A and B are shown apart, each in its own frame.
Chain A
Amino acid sequence: MATLLEVKDLRTHFFTFEGVVKAVDGVSYEVEEGETLGLVGESGCGKSVSALSLMRLIPDPPGKIVSGEMLFEGEDILKIDMDDMRRIRGAKMSMVFQEPMTSLNPVLTLERQLSETLQLHRGMSREEARNESVDLLARVGIPDAERRVKQYPHQFSGGMRQRVMIAMALSCNPRLIIADEPTTALDVTIQAQILELMKSLTNEFGVSLIVITHNLGVVARYADRMNIMYAGKIIERGTAREVYSNPRHPYTVGLLKSVPRLDLPRRAKLDPIEGQPPDLINLPQGCSFRDRCRWAVDKCATEEPPLMLMNEGHWSACWRSDELGPSALDFYADAEMLEGATNGGSAADSEPEEEN
Chain B
Amino acid sequence: MTTMTEADQRGNGASPENDILVEVKNLQMYFPVTAGIIFQRAVAQIKAVDDVSFFVKKGETLGLVGESGCGKTTTGRCILQLYKPTGGQVVFDGQELTSMSTRQMRVMRRRMQVIFQDPYSSLNPRMTAGNIIGEPLIVHGLVNNKEEYRERVAELLQNVGLNPYMADRFPHEFSGGQRQRIGVARALSVDPSFIVCDEPVSALDVSIQAQIVNLLEDLQEQFDLTYLFIAHDLSVVRHISNRVAVMYLGHIVEIADRNEIYANPLHPYTRALLSAVPIPDPVIDAQRERILLSGEVPSPLNPPSGCVFHPRCPIAIDSCQQVIPELREVEPDHWAACIQSPGYGSY
C-beta contact mask, A331-355 vs B, less than 8 Å → 1, else 0?
0000000000001111000010110
A residues near B176, Cβ cutoff 8 Å: 43
- B43 lies within 8 A of chain A by Cβ: no
Known A-B contacts A43-B205, A262-B279; A221 and B234 likewise in contact (beta carbons under 8 Å)? no
Binary contact track B225-268/A, C-beta < 8 Å → 1, others 0: 00000001111101100100000000000000111101000000
Q: Does B2 contact A (CB under 8 A)?
A: yes
A18 contacts chain B at the CB level, 8 A cutoff: no
Q: Kindly identify which residue among B4, B259, B279 contacts A354, using a CB–CB cutoff of 8 Å.
A: B4
Contact of B12 among A241, A267, A346 (CB under 8 A): A346
In the docked arrangement, what's the CA distance between A121 and B205, Å?
A: 38
Q: A220-B280, A343-B259, A346-B9 are in contact. Are A260 and B292 (CB under 8 A)?
A: no
1/0 per residue, CB under 8 A from B, across A266-290: the answer is 1101111110110000000000000
| B282 contacts chain A at the CB level, 8 A cutoff | yes
Q: Are A254 and B11 in contact (CB under 8 A)?
A: no
Determine whether the beta carbon of B293 is less than 8 Å from that of A189: yes
A157 CB–B CB distance under 8 Å: yes
Closest to B65 in A: A188
A-side contacts of B280, CB under 8 Å: 215-217, 220, 244, 256, 259, 261
Question: Contact string, A215-228, partner B, CB cutoff 8 A, digits 1/0?
Answer: 11110110100000
User: Can you identify 19 A-B contacts, CB atoms within 8 angstroms?
Assistant: A43-B176, A189-B293, A192-B276, A193-B293, A215-B206, A217-B285, A221-B285, A258-B210, A260-B235, A261-B280, A266-B259, A267-B239, A276-B175, A277-B175, A343-B8, A346-B4, A346-B5, A346-B8, A353-B4
Contact, CB under 8 Å: B282 / A244 = yes
What 0/1 pattern do residues 150 to 162 of A give for CB contact below 8 A with B?
A: 0000000111100
**What is the CB-to-nearest-CB distance from B333 to chain A, in angstroms, rounded to a whole number?**
9
Least distance between B62 CB and chain A CB atoms (Å)? 13
Would A220 and B278 count as touching, CB distance under 8 A? yes
Task: Please tell me if the beta carbons of B239 and A258 are within 8 angstroms of each other in the complex.
Answer: no
Per-residue B-contact encoding for A320-337, CB less than 8 Å = 1, 0 else: 000000000000000000
List the one stretch of B46-54, B126-134, B211-219 in contact with chain A: B211-219
Closest-by-CB residue of A relative to B277 is A262
* Contact between chains at A258 and B207 (CB < 8 Å): yes
A193 near B282 (CB under 8 angstroms)? no
With both beta carbons as reference points, the residue of chain B lying nearest to A329 in the complex is identified as B281
Please indicate the chain A residues that have their CB under 8 angstroms from the CB of B214 in the complex. Answer: 269-270, 272
- Nearest-Cβ distance from residue A345 to partner chain B, whole angstroms: 7
Q: How far is the CB of B104 from chain A (nearest CB, A)?
A: 35
Are B259 and A260 in touch, CB under 8 angstroms?
Answer: no
| CB–CB A263/B279 < 8 A | yes
Q: Is the CB of A344 within 8 A of B12?
A: yes
On whether the beta carbons of A220 and B217 are closer than 8 Å, the reply is no
CA distance A273 to B206 in the complex (A): 9
- Do A262 and B234 touch across chains, with their CB atoms under 8 A apart? yes
Write out the residue numbers on chain A whose beta carbons fall within 8 Å of the beta carbon of B208.
42, 272, 276
- A271 surroundings in chain B (CB, below 8 A): 210
Cβ of B67 < 8 Å from any Cβ of A?
yes
Residues of B within 8 A of A (CB): 1-2, 4-5, 8-9, 11-12, 67-68, 175-178, 205-211, 213-214, 217-218, 221, 232-236, 238-239, 242, 257-260, 262, 272-286, 288, 290, 292-293, 296-297
User: Please, which residues of chain B bring their CB within 8 A of the CB of A258?
Assistant: 206-207, 209-210
Interface flags, A177-194, vs B, CB<8A=1, else 0: 000000000011111110
10 closest cross-chain pairs (CB), A and B: A346-B8, A272-B210, A217-B278, A260-B239, A270-B210, A258-B210, A273-B207, A187-B67, A192-B276, A217-B280
**With A159-B296, A270-B214, A344-B257 in contact, is A220–B4 under 8 Å at CB?**
no
Taken together as a complex, chains A and B put the C-alpha atoms of A354 and B1 apart, in Å, by 9
Other A-B pairs, 7, CB within 8 Å; known A259-B280, A262-B262, A344-B11: A157-B297, A187-B68, A188-B273, A261-B235, A263-B284, A271-B210, A277-B175
Known A-B contacts A221-B285, A258-B209, A262-B279; A356 and B2 likewise in contact (beta carbons under 8 Å)? yes
Q: Is the CB of B211 within 8 A of A215?
A: no
Which chain A residues have a beta carbon within 8 Å of chain B's beta carbons? 42-43, 157-160, 187-193, 196, 214-218, 220-221, 223, 240-241, 244-245, 254-256, 258-263, 266-267, 269-274, 276-277, 343-346, 351, 353-354, 356
Give the Cβ gap from B19 to chain A, nearest Cβ, in Å: 15
Cα separation A104 to B151 with both chains bound (whole Å): 50
Q: Is the CB of B67 within 8 A of A270?
A: no
A220 to B236, CA, bound (A): 18
The answer on a CB contact under 8 Å between A356 and B1 is: yes
Which residues of chain B are near A276, meaning CB under 8 Å?
175, 177-178, 208
Q: Among A160, A240, A259, A266, which residue has the most Cβ atoms of chain B within 10 A?
A: A259
Given A190-B296, A260-B239, A261-B235, A42 and B205 contact (CB-CB distance below 8 Å): yes
Whether A255 and B8, one on each chain, are in contact in the complex, defined by CB atoms closer than 8 angstroms, is no
Please name the residue on chain B nearest to A349 by beta carbon. Answer: B5
Cβ-defined contact, A266 with B238, below 8 A: yes
| Nearest-Cβ distance from residue B3 to partner chain A, whole angstroms | 9
CB distance from A35 to the nearest CB of B (A): 14
- Contact, CB under 8 Å: A344 / B259: yes
- Contacting pair A255 B67 (CB below 8 A): no
Contacts of B4 in A (CB 8 A): 345-346, 351, 353-354
Query: Measured between C-beta atoms, what is the minimum distance from B273 to chain A in Å?
Result: 6
B242 CB contacts on chain A under 8 angstroms: 344
Q: Which of A187, A216, A270, A354 contacts B232 (CB 8 A)?
A: A187
Whether A196 contacts B292 in the complex (CB less than 8 A), given A187-B68, A262-B277, A276-B177, comes out as yes
CB of A241 within 8 A of CB of B239, answer no
> Complex: how many Å from CA A241 to CA B288?
16
Q: Which one of B67, B235, B239, B281 contacts A189 once the chains associate, using CB atoms below 8 Å?
A: B67
A43-B205, A262-B238, A344-B257 known; A241+B211 contact, CB < 8 A: no
Name the B residues within 8 Å of A192 (CB-CB). Answer: 275-276, 278, 290, 292
Which residues from A are CB-within-8-Å of B284?
263
Q: Which of A220, A223, A260 contacts B238 (CB 8 A)?
A: A260
> What residues on A are CB-neighbors of B217 within 8 Å?
269, 353
What's the nearest-Cβ distance from chain B to residue A251, in Å?
Answer: 9
